[in-house]
Chain A
Amino acid sequence: MSAADELVALGNLGGVETFAMLRRTFRSASKPFGSLTLNGWDEDQRDEALQAFLTDKLVSLGDALLVAARDGQDAVEKLTFRIMKAWLQDQARRTDFGAVRLRLEELLTDDRYERSAPGTHHWGLAGAGEPVGPTDRQLLEAAQAVQVKAVRWSSEHRRAPMAATPDLHRVMTAVLTSAGGAVDITQLTHTFVRRFGVVLMSEVDLDDEDSYPGRAGYGPTADRTVTLPDAHSRARQIFVQLTDAERRCLLVLNDIPRMCEILNAKRSAAYNVRARLEGTLRALAAEDVDHEALVSELCRLVEAGIDAR
C-alpha cells in the first residue's frame, strides 16, 4: 500500500507508509542544507530537524497531504518535498537574516543615525524625523545604486562580510536618504540581504564560537586584511552558492526550454531562476573585479563539473 492509499484509508498521518515517506522525503529535501548543522547532517541531527519540522507544520501538512492523497502517490511526494524544502530554506535564511540584522544594529549605533523614538525599531539619519513606509523596491534601488568593493575573504569557517564598514555606511545613508524618514530595521535588513545576496553563503560552515557575533561573522573588518578580490576566487564563491541545476543553467540562459528541462520545471520557474542568475551577474558588474575573467572562470567551473559527471 502506498502512503497515498494509506492516507485515504486512515484519514490521518499515523500509518507506517506515511511515516516512511515523510522520513525518506525529508532526507532528500535536506541534502543541500548541510549548513544548518556544524559538520553536515548525521542521522540524529536529521531526525531532530524532522521533529522540528513536524512541530511547526504538522496540522497544515496533515490537511495538505489528505487532499493530495486523492491525486496519488506522486502528488503526495511532490507536495511533501516542496513543503519541506521551503521550510528548510526558511531555517537557512533565518541564520543569514539574523546575522545581517545584528550587523546593521551594530552599524546604526554610529552617531550619524538615530531611532525615531526611544524603544522603537525605526531608524533614520540623525534629525530625519518620523517613521515612513517606503517600498522595498525603492530602498533596494537606492542600495544598489551605491558601488561597493567586494571583500576578499579566505576563511573557510566564517562568513564573508557584506562589505567594508565605510561602504556599509554609504549604502545605509543612501537607503535612509531615499526613504526620507525613519525605517523599520526589519525592512532595512531585507534590503541589505537582497543587496548583498551574492555574498551571503549559507553553504559555508559556521565558526564553532558560541558568541552570536562570532557565529554571524559580520563583525567590524578594521582589523582584517581587505584586498581586492581575485576573479577566480570570486567565481568560486558564486559557484558554490549555486545548485547543480543552476550551474548548468548559466550556460543556457537564453534558452528557456532547455532551462525547463534542466530544472525539471515549467516556464515561470525557469524565468525566475534566470532572473536571479542575471541579477547575480549584474551585481557582480558593480563590483571592482575583472568581470570578463570572472564569468569565464564561472563557465569553466560549470563545464568541468559537467565533464566530471
Chain B
Amino acid sequence: MSNESERDDGMRARLSSYAPSAQLLEALDVAATPEGLERGQLWRAAWQDTRALLLVLGDAEDSDVATRQLLVAVVTLAEQPAKDSSIAFLAASTTCFHEVTVWPSLTARIGTHVLLTLVEDSEETANLAVKVTSVADSLVGLGAVDAFDPSARLVAELADDLSALAEAPTVRVADPGARTRLWDALPGTPGEQLKTLTVELGLRQDQAMALLRDQHTLTAEQARHVEAVYELPPGALPDAAALPADVVRELDHPRWRAAWQAAASRMSSDEVSVKQIFGSRAYALAARETGPPDWTQRLALLLAAEQ
C-alpha cells in the first residue's frame, strides 16, 4: 500500500472516530420551533446567505420596535479567540455540543423572524446565558477591539453576520394610531369613496368594493396615491405593506419560518412579500369575524389552502 493511501486511510479513520451526541442529531433532524422564545435557548438563525448560532439572553427591553425583539449573543463551534487574544469569551460543554464558545462582546437585538430552528434548550445553555449577561455588562465602555488582536478579523466577520441578522427586514407595522379599515379612513360617503377608488386607481367597481369591504388591501403604491389625492399624511391609509403589530408578531414567529421560505420559493418571491400577502389575507378574514382573532389558526388555514 502506498504512503498516500495509508495516509488517506489514517485520516478517514480519524474522521470516522467522530461521534456527535444523540441529542444534537435529534435536534437537527426534528428542527423544533417551540411556542415560547426564552432566555437560554440556542437557535440556528439565518437571513439570505448569513448564518449564525445565537444564544437568547432575554427579551430586548426598552425597544422602540412594536414587534418582539430578543437580545442574543453569538455562539460558535470550533472557533474561539486565539490563545494570545485579549477578546473575552466563554467556553462550555453542553448537552448537544462538545464545546461551544459564546462571545459576550457580540450581542445584539434581533427580530424573531431570523430564527430558524431551536438546537438546544438545556440547563447548560441557560447557565451560559446568565454568565454571558454579566460578562457583557462588564465589557460596556471598554472600547473597540484592538485591530492587531489576532482574532480581530474573526470578530469583525462575526459582527458583520450579527449586523445582517439584526437589520433583516420584516413586514412593516402599521401606525397604531392610524385607521385600520379603508372605509373608516377615507373621507366622504361610501359612494364618494367608491368613485375615488375607481377613478384614481383605475379599478373596476367590484375591485373597489372589495377594498372597501376589506376583502383586499391597497398596495403601498395605491395607498400613497390615494393619500396624495385626499391630502392625507403618508401612512394614514392601511396598505398591504403594513399590518398591525400583533399580526406581524405572529408572522415573525419561527414556527412559520419554513412555510415562508417554501412559499417564497414556490411563488418566486421573498419572505417579506410572502408574509405581507398571507398577513393581509389573515387580517382581511378577521375583519369579517367577531371576537378576538386567532392569527395562528388563520395563517395555518391560509397556508393549507395555498398548498
Chain A residues near B (Cβ < 8 Å): 8, 11-14, 18-19, 22, 43-44, 47, 50-51, 54-55, 57-64, 66-68, 70-71, 74-75, 82-83, 86, 89-90, 93, 97, 136-137, 140, 186, 189-190, 193-194, 197, 265-269, 271-273, 275-276, 279
Contact = CB atoms under 8 A, between A and B. Distances in A.
A68 B16 CA distance: 18
Contacts of A136: 86, 146
B179 to A, nearest CB: 40
Contacts of A51: 7, 10-11, 14
B10 to A, nearest CB: 7
Contacts of B156: 265, 268-269, 271-272
Interface stretch (B147-155, B210-218, B225-233): B147-155
B300 to A, nearest CB: 24
Given A66-B24, A93-B84, 16 more contacts: A11-B20, A11-B25, A12-B16, A22-B15, A50-B11, A58-B15, A60-B97, A60-B98, A61-B18, A63-B99, A67-B44, A70-B31, A70-B44, A86-B79, A266-B161, A269-B156
Contacts of B51: 68, 71, 75
Contacts of B31: 70
B162 to A, nearest CB: 9
* 7 tightest A-B CB contacts, nearest first: A275-B147, A266-B160, A64-B77, A60-B78, A268-B156, A14-B16, A62-B18
A269 B151 CA distance: 11
Contact of A60 (B3, B19, B77, B152): B77
Nearest to A43: B4
DSSP class of A's interface residues: helix, strand, loop or mixed? helix
B157 A12 contact: no
A286 to B, nearest CB: 15
Contacts of B154: 82, 86
B18 A58 contact: yes
Given A13-B16, A83-B78, A193 B84 contact: yes
Contacts of B155: 268, 272
Interface string B1-45: 001100110111011111110001100100100000000000010
B131 to A, nearest CB: 20
Contacts of A189: 84
Contacts of B207: none
B198 interface: no
B163 to A, nearest CB: 7
Nearest to B22: A11
A205 to B, nearest CB: 22
A63 B77 contact: yes
Nearest to B31: A70
Contact of A63 (B24, B44, B148): B24
A272 B154 CA distance: 10
16 contacts: A19-B8, A47-B11, A51-B7, A58-B18, A63-B20, A63-B24, A63-B97, A64-B79, A66-B24, A68-B51, A86-B154, A194-B146, A271-B156, A272-B156, A275-B152, A276-B147
A288 B84 CA distance: 29
A160 to B, nearest CB: 18
Contacts of A75: 51
A272 B152 contact: yes
Contacts of A89: 82, 150
A265 B157 contact: yes
B108 to A, nearest CB: 12
Contacts of B98: 59-60, 63
B15 A19 contact: yes
Contact of A268 (B8, B15, B157): B157
Interface in B107-140: 117, 119
A279 B148 contact: yes
Nearest to A136: B86
Interface in B139-175: 145-148, 150-157, 159-161, 163-164
Contact of A269 (B44, B148, B157): B157
